[in-house]
Chains A and B, each alone.
Chain A
Amino acid sequence: MKKRIPVLVALFLSLSLLVSLAGCGQPAQSTAQNKIVLGVPTALGTVEGKDSLNSVNMAVDEINAAGGVEVGGKKYQLSVVSIDTREAEAGIPVNDALTAVDKLISQNKPNAIVVGAFRSEVLLASMDLVAKYKIPYITSIGMAPDYEKKIGENYDKYKYFFRMGLNSTYLVDYLNKTTGYIGKNFNFNKVYFMYQDVAWAKGTAAGVAAWAKSNGWTIVGQDSYPTGASDFSSSLAKAKAGGAQLIVPIFDMPQAGVLVKQAKSMQVPALLEGFISPVSAGNAWTTFNGEIDGFVNFVYEAGPIPLKNIPKSAAYNDAYAKKYGEDARVKLAGHGPGPAYDSVYVLVDAIKRANSLDSGNIVSALEKTDYDGVIGHIKFSKNHQVIYGENAKETASGLAFQWRAGKRVVVFPADAAESQIQLPQQ
C-alpha cells in the first residue's frame, strides 16, 4: 500500500491537469430569478482578462448597490458568471476555448456577454457559435478588424456583436500620428519594426510600416518574434548598425519586457515607441529597475490612468483602488479594463432605454448608444465598433505615455497630454 501512495499522487496530479485543461477552472454560478446574467468568457489567467473581470464586477456591484435595473416595472439585480477559456496559454487550441464559451452559455443562459475573447482568432471563431444563441456580445480585448467586417457582411446573423475596445485599425492610426510627430519634431526618418508573430501585431506593424514608407521614412528593418522569445539582440544590433532613430516594438507577451532593458544595455541610441504590455503598468519602473526611461508606450483605451479630459477615468481609478487596493489599481492592464467597465454601463443603459430584456430590442438600443464613459464618449459605428479618436468629448480615446524618472507622463492625445514626447538622455 505504502508504495501505491506516490502512484496515486501522480495519478491525482495528472487528473487535476486534465480537469483544468478542460476549461473547468472557475465553476459557473446558476441563474436566479430577477437576475440579469452577464457572461464573461475570457482568458482569466492573463492580466488583461483578470483586470477586465474585476472591472465588470465593480460596475455590477455599483449598479446593484444603486438599486439594480428596472425593466417593465420589475427590478432586476445583475450577476456575473465567468469561465476561464485559457486561450492565451501555449498549446490551448481555439476549439477548447469555444467549448468553454459554449459551456458558459448553455449552462448559465446569460442575457449578454461582456469582455469576450482574448485572442482575435478565438473572437472570430466564436462569432458563429454565439450567433446561434442570439445574445448581445460586447467584446473589449480581441482587436482584429475582421470582426466588424463580418458584422457588415452579414448583419442579420451578426447584429448581436459589438466592440468596446480598440481595434488594430485605430491602433495603427494612433501610432501613425505619434510617429509623425516624432519625425517632424526630432527630424527622424529611420525606423525599425520589431513585433510579435501574432495576427494583430503583424497587422499593426504592417499598417504603420506602410504609412511610414509613404511618408518619407526609411525602414531599416522589420523582424517578427515568435511568442516566448526572450533575446532581441540580433534586431537591436541591426537597428544600431543601420542607424535607426526610432524603434517600434509591438508585443503583448511577458518576455518582451526584456527588449527595452536589452536596448539600454546594448546602448542602442534610438527612441522606442510602441506597445509592450509588461511595460505598461504603473509598477513597471520598479520591475525593470528603471531601465525603461524614455520609452513611449500606448494604453489602448483610457481607464488605467486618470486623465484630465475624462472625469469618469479619475472616478474609475478611485473606485478600483477602493475595491481592489491601490496596488491592484497601479497594475491595471493597458488594454481591456476601461472598455469592460463601460460595457456593463452601456448595456444597462440600452436595457433601460429598450425597457426590455429581448436581445433584438437591446441590440437596437445599443446601436443608438450615446454615452460618456471611462474611455471617453461612446458611440458605435455602423458595424458596431466604438469610434475612437483624439477628442474624448466626441469619441472614445486611447493614450500614449512616456516613462520619465519613474512616472508615466501622458504625451498623447493633445487633449489629455501633460507634456510633449522628449528624447531620452543617452
Chain B
Amino acid sequence: MVANLLIYGLVNSVVLMLTALGFSLTFGLSGVANFAHGGLYLLAGFLAWIFINSFGLPAALGMILAVIVVGILGALIYRFILMPVRGIVLSEVISTFAVGVAILEFFRWKGFVTYDFSLPVLVQGSVKISGVSIDYQRLLIIAIGLALALLLWFFTHHTRIGLALRGMSQDEYTALSVGIESDWAGMLSLALGAGLAGVAAVVILPLGIISINMGYDVLLIALAVTVLGGLESTTGLVVGSFFVGYAMVITSTYLGPQWGEVVYLGAIVLVLAVKPSGLFGKSKELEERV
C-alpha cells in the first residue's frame, strides 16, 4: 500500500504540476492571470482529436500541431483581447475568463458532449515497480512533467529571453528603459503558457476521455496549486503540486476520495489566510511584513 501511495502520489503530483505549469508561467513572466487556461487546455485536446480522427494525421503529429495552434492562439489572445486592457487587473481577469468560457461553451454548443472523444496513449502497456503496476503513459507524464519543469527553470533563469521576461514581470518601466518591449514579452508569455496548457492536455487526456467540464476543473486546479506555491515561483509550483498531490492521494486512501478534492480547495483558503503570497511567492511578501 505504501509503494502504491508513493507511486500514484507522484503521478497525481506531476499531473497537477503539468496542469498548472502554463498558468503559473504566464503569471510569472507577464503578471497576467490567464483565466482562459482551462479553455485552452480543452481546446488542445479537442484539436488533437480532430487532427487525428478527422484529418487522419498520426497521433504524435496531431498532438504537436494542436499544441502549436493553441500556443499561437495564446499570442493572439494577448494581442487582441489583453493589450487594450493591459494593466487593469480586473479587466484582464474578466476578459480571459470570458475567452475561456467561450471556448468551452462553443464545444458544448457544437455537440462535443458525447463519450467518444479520447486521445490515444503514446505508449501502450504497463510495468511493475516495487510490486505496483503502472502504465507507460503515466510514466511518460512523470518524465515529461519533470523535464518541462527543469527546462522552464533553465529558460527563465539562464537564457537572455527568459531573463528579459522575468525582468519585465519584476519592473515593467525599468525593463522598458533597457529596451525590453513589454507587449512582445506579454505575447510570448501568453503563447508559452497556452502551449504548455496544450502539452498538459495531450499527455494527460489519453488517460480517459475529454469532457467539457474538465476545462473548469483544470482552471481551479491551476489556481489552487499556483496560489499555494506562490504565483510567480517555479519552485513554489513544484512544491505546491507535490504537497497537494500527495495530500490528495493520502486523504483519498485513508479518509475517502470525497475528501481528496476538499484538500486543494482547503489549501487555497489556508494559504491565503496565513501567507497570501504563497509558500514561495515574493510579489506581496514585503507588504505582508509591513
Contact = CB atoms under 8 A, between A and B. Distances in A.
B133 A6 contact: no
Interface string A213-234: 0000000000111101111111
B182 interface: no
A9 interface: yes
A235 to B, nearest CB: 7
Contacts of B8: 231, 233-234, 237
A9 B80 contact: yes
A7 interface: yes
Given A10-B81, A13-B98, A226 B258 contact: yes
Contacts, number: 161
A9 to B, nearest CB: 7
B105 A226 contact: no
Contact of A278 (B95, B132, B209, B212): B209
A16 interface: yes
A17 B260 CA distance: 31
B94 A278 contact: no
B102 A13 contact: yes
Interface string B81-114: 1111100000100110011011001001101011
B209 A254 contact: yes
Contact of B109 (A25, A229, A233, A284): A25
Contacts of B217: 228
A225 B257 CA distance: 5
Given A233-B4, A235-B257, A331-B114, A3 B213 contact: no
Interface in B116-135: 116-118, 120-121, 124, 126, 132-135
B214 interface: yes
Contact of A197 (B81, B84, B102, B258): B258
Contacts of B261: 226, 228-229
Given A4-B84, A234-B8, A289-B120, A17 B105 contact: yes
Contact of A7 (B85, B208, B216, B253): B85
B118 A288 contact: yes
Interface in A273-308: 277-278, 280-281, 283-284, 286-289
A32 interface: no
Residue among A9, A232, A234 with the highest chain B CB neighbour number at 10 A: A234
A402 to B, nearest CB: 18
B256 interface: yes
A234 B257 contact: yes
Residue among B1, B111, B256 with the highest chain A CB neighbour number at 10 A: B256
A358 B213 CA distance: 42
Nearest to B216: A90
Interface string B185-219: 00000000000000000000001110111101100
A17 B211 contact: no
A257 B208 contact: yes
Given A229-B257, A261-B207, A6 B83 contact: yes
A71 interface: no
A72 B148 CA distance: 74
A46 B135 contact: no
Contacts of A325: none
B249 interface: yes
Contacts of A261: 207-208
Interface string A240-280: 01000000000001110110011001110000000001101
Give the secondary structure class of A's interface: helix
B258 A225 contact: yes
A140 B54 CA distance: 34
B170 interface: no
A90 B213 contact: yes
A304 to B, nearest CB: 13
A277 B5 CA distance: 28
Contacts of B257: 223-226, 229, 232, 234-235
A224 B94 contact: no
Interface string B233-268: 000000000000000010011001110110000000
B55 interface: no
Contact of A10 (B98, B120, B209, B252): B98
A230 B4 CA distance: 17
B258 A224 contact: yes
Contact of B95 (A10, A16, A47): A10
B209 A287 contact: yes
A225 B261 CA distance: 9
B12 interface: yes
B4 A265 contact: no
A238 B260 CA distance: 15
Contact of B133 (A20, A91, A266, A289): A266
Q: Which 7 A-B pairs have the closest CB atoms?
A: A254-B211, A258-B208, A278-B115, A265-B135, A10-B95, A234-B252, A233-B8
Interface of B: 1, 4-5, 8, 11-12, 15, 80-85, 91, 94-95, 98-99, 101-102, 105, 108-109, 111, 113-118, 120-121, 124, 126, 132-135, 138, 207-209, 211-214, 216-217, 249, 252-253, 256-258, 260-261
6 contacts: A7-B95, A10-B85, A10-B91, A253-B211, A265-B138, A277-B115
